[in-house]
A = this chain, B = another copy of it.
C-alpha cells in the first residue's frame, strides 16, 4: 500500500544503467531490473520473465554486436507506466546483417537458439533499430 502511494508521487518511472560489455556485468543488469520491478510492485512471474529476456538480449549484444569484445558498453533504459513496461537495450557495436533474429525450433534438440524465445515470452512488442552509431532493441510488455 505504502509503496503504491509513493509510486504516484514519483511521476516519472524512468531509470537506466550502463555497464561494460563483459559477461560479469550481466548479473548487475538483472539485479537492477529485479529491484526496479519490485519497487513498482510488478508480479514475481513477470519480473522473472523480464530478467531472463533482458539478460538474453544483452548476452546477444556481447556475442553478435560486439563479437565478444568486453571493453565496450551496454546501456539498458527502463520505463514504466500502469499500461506498460518498456526496456530499450542500446549498443555501439556492429549492425546485424539479418534482422529476423530467428531462434531455433524448440523441438530440434541442439545447444543455442533459445534466447529469442525468452525475449518473445516476456515482451509483447519487439522492435530493432540501427542508426549510424547505435543499435537499439526496444521491447514492450503490456500490463
* Interface residues, chain A, with chain B CB atoms under 8 Å away: 3, 6-7, 9-20, 22, 24-25, 27-28, 31-32, 35-36, 39, 70-71, 73
Residues of chain B contacted by A13 (CB below 8 angstroms): 20
Residues of chain B contacted by A28 (CB below 8 angstroms): 15, 32, 35-36, 39
In the complex, are the beta carbons of B39 and A9 less than 8 A apart?
Answer: no
In the complex the two chains form, what is the Cα distance from A67 to B39 in whole Å? 23
Q: Which residue of chain B has the shortest Cβ distance to A76 in the bound complex?
A: B17
In the complex the two chains form, what is the Cα distance from A81 to B8 in whole Å? 40
In the complex, are the beta carbons of A17 and B14 less than 8 A apart?
Answer: no
In the complex, are the beta carbons of A14 and B20 less than 8 A apart?
Answer: yes
In the complex the two chains form, what is the Cα distance from A15 to B29 in whole Å? 11
Shortest CB-to-CB span from A89 to chain B, Å, is 15
Say which residue of B11, B27, B32, B39 sits within 8 Å of A24 (CB atoms). Answer: B39
Q: Which residue of chain B has the shortest Cβ distance to A27 in the bound complex?
A: B35
Known contacts A28-B36, A32-B28, A32-B32, A17 near B17 by CB under 8 Å: yes
In the complex the two chains form, what is the Cα distance from A55 to B39 in whole Å? 17
